[in-house]
Structure 1
């Protein structure tokens, strides 16, 4: 009979069989994924699935789309954002807090907004228990416009939207980057927007994926004939 895989073996397999094949090759990112205990951020009911290539449900099921994104999507977004140690980060959609923990180890400070108060409280406590001190989890609606002016080096939307929120682009500093999964099922693309000057933003769309919607962001009008 085969022995039950250890957590470290499952973590190793996640990195080598899911994340590397998705072109996540930055050794610092891979080392971080090996060090951060993903299982600590997974709801107890789903902890056995912590290292599987799938989204994991969060909350009590009353709000649709509350999930922990798959490991490869979180890893690829983190790699492609090139977060630096001096930078400030805004995350929309704290969820479990795992992406905030990854960002925190790459950045100076992370502000993470979560619309569900129970999820926000749980994520804040999990981050505290894991010694992540440079993340502020705030119970807030990320779709509500922020105070005007460039405030962040990096903005991450941990979920999908129909289109890039224009107000968030104005919250980027020059040189800042925004990552979002944009589009409609069954085809969405990761968008990375860089503010190259006060009035210019450059966008690349390097890979496809699908993710649940973030709440309250505008949806396109649907016409019936």
Structure 2
């Protein structure tokens, strides 16, 4: 899963960058934009959906269940400070996907019981994409523990690069990546490198 930022580091617009990532093999995109208003987010989802849907890639919206539903995204990713997971599941029945952030096995089991479809687990190696997590590295072993406790598909997130992704894939989880892709001069090459490390 590639998480987006409004202005990719390569200097090109978001839409062509997402198209290149999907063409390179990314099978999920998460729209992450903490500053745009609802109208702008809905418009962005529509543009990205025109890229992801024909390619068979999943489009997730970060935090905003209302935007995800209104714009026809495939799902939403929620955190502990967002709408409660069980309430979101009541509003958006399957096949709409609901992801949840959890780095603790007990939280993971609760999320599974409340209807999560997958979990984002991290920060695996620490991250500067989210305030306060630069020194919070849970490590691949905790990703495995969360995956085994929840019995849900899991994506390790936080500080993941082509150089360390293999250790996350080895836990049976996938990876979700923001900075390594969005800050790269050639995002599609990074996606290809990440996928090669899964083999």
TM-score, scaled to structure 1? 0.31
The structure with the greater share of residues assigned to helix is 2
Higher RCO structure, 1 or 2 (CA under 8 Å, sep 6+)? 2
- The structure that has the greater radius of gyration is 1
TM-score, scaled to structure 2? 0.34
